[in-house]
Amino acid sequence: MTQYTVEKLENGIATLRYSDGSWAEIILSSDMTQEDLDDAAHQFAPKIGVAPSFVSKGLTSTASVKPAPVEDEPEVVPTWLRKRVIAYGDPMSQLEYITENGLEAWQAHVSEIKKKYPEE
């Protein structure tokens, strides 16, 4: 919790002064409660942080809206791979095949599928 004092009240804006000497301007509304004001004051209260390397005293920049992230293009699965996955079957089917026919038979089956649907 951080102590604050309302230092100035003008045009529906309260200037708050915190115990460390920093200040914030809070936009007020007629339906605010004391808890609302305390919450707003807390949000603007001084915090301890670590400055990123590009921030230094005297930095001049232009405030702007952060661009929306570019969505990655959906991954296109090649036709040959989709056909192989369908031919292999789900993992339970694959285990059943191995259990009933043996690992060598499964490996031969996979080899046939790869020949039928080669990488393009």
- List pLDDT tens digits, range 61-74: 888 888 888 887 78
- Domain residue limits, the chain: 4-44, 79-116
In the chain, pLDDT over 70 holds for what percent of residues? 100
Predicted pLDDT of residue 76: 86
Does residue 102 register a pLDDT over 80?
yes
What's the whole-number mean pLDDT along residues 67-95?
Answer: 89
Q: What is the mean pLDDT of the chain?
A: 90
**Predicted confidence band at 19 (pLDDT cuts at 50, 70, 90)?**
confident
Q: Which helix (H) or strand (E) holds 7?
A: strand 4-10
